[in-house]
Amino acid sequence: MAETLTGGISAAALRRERLSRRQQAFRADFRAKIGRLYHGWVHVALIYAIGGAAIWYAARQVVAPAWYEWLVVPLAFLGANIFEWWIHKYVMHRPLKGFMGIYKRHTLAHHQFFTETEYTIDNARDFRIVFFPPYALITFLALSLVPCLLLQALGFPDAGWLLLITNTALYLNYELFHFCCHVKDDRIVRHIPFINTIRRHHAAHHDTAIMMERNFNLTYPIADWLFGTSDLKRGLLGHMLNGYGTAHRRTDLKQVRHGTDDPQAGRPRLMAAE
């Protein structure tokens, strides 16, 4: 059965209207350059196989951690959340020497492929613009080994392995949440706590009017709340459990394509009727 809006307009027709000619052209060009042998689900399987193997190996090295060694888990979680915010704000959106590859992939590709009016994928080949390449995880694991080995050298071997496990799990969490931000809206994703929150949070970030200033977290909007870069004005718990709500959206945001009185501003477009 064709997907329709409550007003009877087909979702496909509305989607074509939302896609600007520029976005349509960019998507067509990007897809044409994807290798013929590329398979989205193989891409995802490689990432989670590598990450899962790293977690499995590290977990087997943990023997009997002292209570204080477990503190590395919440500290790593908070540190990763702030780093996620920092690299998104100060590296992914800025043409810095030595990091142009990241800038081109994110700002010049990802933000052209996805806009605030149409930010969902069409098929598994579009995974190429959503997920990091598998070698990015390998590089991340190599870098994560440095503090892991340092903690071991300082006499906290289990803390080192717990740190590696936590960092790897958070990387996989990032990939999952970002994927969920760009899939079609349905009855599942719109009702899963945290995921529905980050979907709205990230959809708002794709608004070109505020993308340089707001909503840099891709997992849990803790750092955005902490540093005042969220498009919402509410407490931490409210941020975490906001879902698709726009009642607390700031009224002083820059505007380009829509005003803040638009009930759809800063939230995922709910395509299917319940």
Range with lowest mean pLDDT among 10-14, 56-60, 228-232, 264-268: 264-268
**Segment 65-69 mean pLDDT:** 96
Which pLDDT belongs to residue 260? 34
The answer to whether residue 47 scores a pLDDT higher than 80 is: yes
Q: What is the pLDDT of residues 166-194, one digit of tens each?
A: 999 999 999 999 999 999 988 889 999 99
For residue 139, what are its two tokens?
């590089």
**Segment 73-91 mean pLDDT:** 97
When the pLDDT of each residue in the chain is averaged and rounded to a whole number, the result is 88
Which pLDDT belongs to residue 255? 75
The dihedral sign for the CA sequence 118, 121, 125, 129: positive
**Segment 35-60 mean pLDDT:** 98
Percentage of the chain exceeding pLDDT 90? 77
First to last CA, the chain: 14
pLDDT bracket for residue 131 (50, 70, 90): very high
Burial string for 162-177 (b: 16+ CB within 10 Å, else e) reads bbbbbbbbbbbbbbbb
pTM of the model: 0.85
Q: What is the pLDDT of residues 217-274, one digit of tens each?
A: 999 999 999 999 999 999 999 999 999 999 999 998 887 554 333 434 445 554 333 3
Cα 84 from chain centroid (whole Å): 9
